[in-house]
Amino acid sequence: MNKMGILSAGVVLGIPSARPDRRYGRCVEHRGIVWSVDTVTCVLMPINGSSPMVALEKPFNDCFVADICSSGENLVVVFGARSWSSYSGTWQVWRVSREGLLLQHVAVPLDGIPSAVSGDGDSLLVGVSSLEISATDEWAGGGIVSMGPRGDDVLYRHSSLSTRFSPSGLAAGPHGVLYFVDQGMHVLGRLDSAGPKVVFGELGIPRGDCTGLSVPMGVALSGDVIYIADSRNGRIVAVDVGGTFLGTSPQGRLADPRSVVCSQGILHVADTRRPELVELKAGDLVAGDSDEPVLERETELSFPRVIRSSDGVLLVADTNHNRVLSVTLDDRMKAVEVAALECSTTWPRGASLSPDGTHVAICDGVGAAVKIVQRSSGEQVAIVDSVDGRRIVDPHDAVWISETALVVADGMDVARVDGFKETVWCIRSPDPHQLALGEGESIHVADPTSGCILQLDRNSGAVMGSLSHARSSGGGTISLRRPRAVAAARNLLAVADENGSVLFIRDRQLYALWDGTYEVDGTQYVAQAVRGLDFLGDHLLVSDHRNHMVIAVRPSFGGGFANCG
């Protein structure tokens, strides 16, 4: 096996961020001291003052600190799960003394998963997320409960089975008003005696401009201003109590904010991809016109997913900005023109250009369909919303195999659809993600759940082979670990591993390996969550999902890609 060296690396689009050794997930002010949780070591750390650190004991193995708050004399910690369906029943909320002793745990009197906590005088407010009902698309339980000295009071009980209630941040206001953010519905809500209502954001629709949020994780109230940790957009959003947009944090300061505290005009932000709390002056938030995007986003991405190139044009599914970008590249892989397709799409996961270059197939994650739009005007001309008689539910990718025929990866299906309506064939696959056209009539499917690359005949859907490991030069084998992205060039496959590395495989032999590290302008970076790959000339284009950028790397195989066939 050859160790692949990088001859060149450059950012096509995006703003990179380095990987920290310590990750702060939540922060809170308690009696003049700002505390935060290191989500790696599960330690409460005082950011100022002389209080000792507090090591937290996890109540079960697969859990993390979901939220912390200040309540009376104590800090309060609620533990959450890494999977919505991993645990059910009563969970634990721990009260932690200022001296660092674990005092007691309390049962939460509401079905679901405790996911947010806030103090309100002598009472403790707990947000509880809905539980997934096994083998269905329904949710049960969830709500908000007040736990006080005189007993418990359920303030809100979520009753809808079709939507998940997932409060990820709570803030108590005056006169019994409570503000909360729902990470699954992408909104800021208000709860009072009249019940819950949306204050800011569009219910169920992630947005990246000044009209909404994308997976908000934390909220803080300071006077008449509400600060929201808008995690997927990498920013803090400020609105007034009526929901009027006031401003947002400067571009590039944050990557994945999970919590925010306002203390004496300073915003303390816990960002999971920063090695320390970020401090911002509340007055420095960028003001914006409510009718226009706040930031210029021609070269900024937010969680890009599947990418495709054709004749020097790169299509990028810029997921959390709800748009698809068309990028013209020069021969040095520099972006010389960037334009957003003028079409309506929400949470695009993939985009593919038709063989004649006139139409684009867009996988709309929220709309649960593959939209066919004209490249020039953005006008929708067709839609694929079902395969084999079943509604599309989770479209990850779609590739053209002729002017009117597509192969679609959706949920647990991979299907060929002709004329945007007729299902020619459909096979089951646990979790199909990116697709890549291979040699002859083959098509490759990256499936992280099955841990393999499936090879199908694009005409019949017949399984031609399955790749779950590759032979190494030493005679051993290397297994694929949850591959989500794949690209094909002649008889060479590039497969993205879950740790950010890319394996180059030819005839089931590991030909080269890229470990995910690259250098841009003298700074070293590590790819985090590769979600898209494509070959373009002698470069490999890589969608670095959590670093919010697309990079172009040119590997050294002893001559480049051109001599690998």
Is residue 529 included in any domain, yes or no?
Answer: yes
Query: Who has greater pLDDT, 487 or 319?
Result: 487
**Pairwise CA distance, residues 36 & 223, whole Å:** 23
The DSSP code sequence of 495-535 is EE-TTS-EEEEETTEEEEEE-SEEEETTEEEE--SEEEEEE
Is residue 121 included in any domain, yes or no?
Answer: no
Task: Look at residue 538 in the predicted model and tell me its pLDDT.
Answer: 80
**Pairwise CA distance, residues 503 & 477, whole Å:** 12
pLDDT grade, residue 5 (50/70/90)? very low
In the three-class reduction of DSSP (H, G, I as helix; E, B as strand; rest coil), residue 308 is classed as strand
| DSSP 8-state code for residue 89 | S
Is residue 117 included in any domain, yes or no?
Answer: no
Range(s) of the domain holding residue 382 = 2-15+296-563
Starting at the edge strand that comes first in sequence, how are the strands of the sheet with 539-544 ordered? 5-14, 549-556, 539-544, 530-536
The shares of helix, strand and coil residues in the chain, as percent rounded to the nearest 5, are: 5, 55, 40
Is residue 119 included in any domain, yes or no?
Answer: no
Is residue 314 included in any domain, yes or no?
Answer: yes
Whether 48 has a pLDDT exceeding 50, the answer reads: yes
CA distance readout (Å), 171 to 23, 68, 105, 181: 23, 12, 22, 9
Number of domains in the chain: 1
Which whole number is the average pLDDT over 485-495? 91
CATH of the domain at 356: 2.120.10.30
Of all helices (H) and strands (E), which one includes residue 131?
strand 131-132
Is residue 106 included in any domain, yes or no?
Answer: no
Q: Is 100 left (phi over 0), alpha (psi -120 to 50) or beta?
A: left
pLDDT tens sequence across 76-99: 888 776 554 444 444 567 777 655
Is residue 207 included in any domain, yes or no?
Answer: no
Whether 134 has a pLDDT exceeding 70, the answer reads: no
Task: Look at residue 2 in the predicted model and tell me its pLDDT.
Answer: 47
Asked if residues 372 and 324 have their Cβ atoms less than 8 Å apart, the reply is: no
Token pair for residue 111?
A: 């079905």
Residues 6+ positions from 135 with CB-CB distance below 8 Å? none
Q: Which stretches does DSSP call E strand in 173-256?
A: 178-182, 187-192, 195-200, 216-222, 225-230, 235-240, 245-248
The number of residues making up the chain comes to: 565
Is residue 513 included in any domain, yes or no?
Answer: yes
pLDDT grade, residue 555 (50/70/90)? low
**Pairwise CA distance, residues 251 & 529, whole Å:** 22
Rounded to the nearest integer, the mean pLDDT of the chain is 82
Token pair for residue 206?
A: 């992630």
Q: β-strand 405-410 against 413-418: which pairing, if any? A: antiparallel
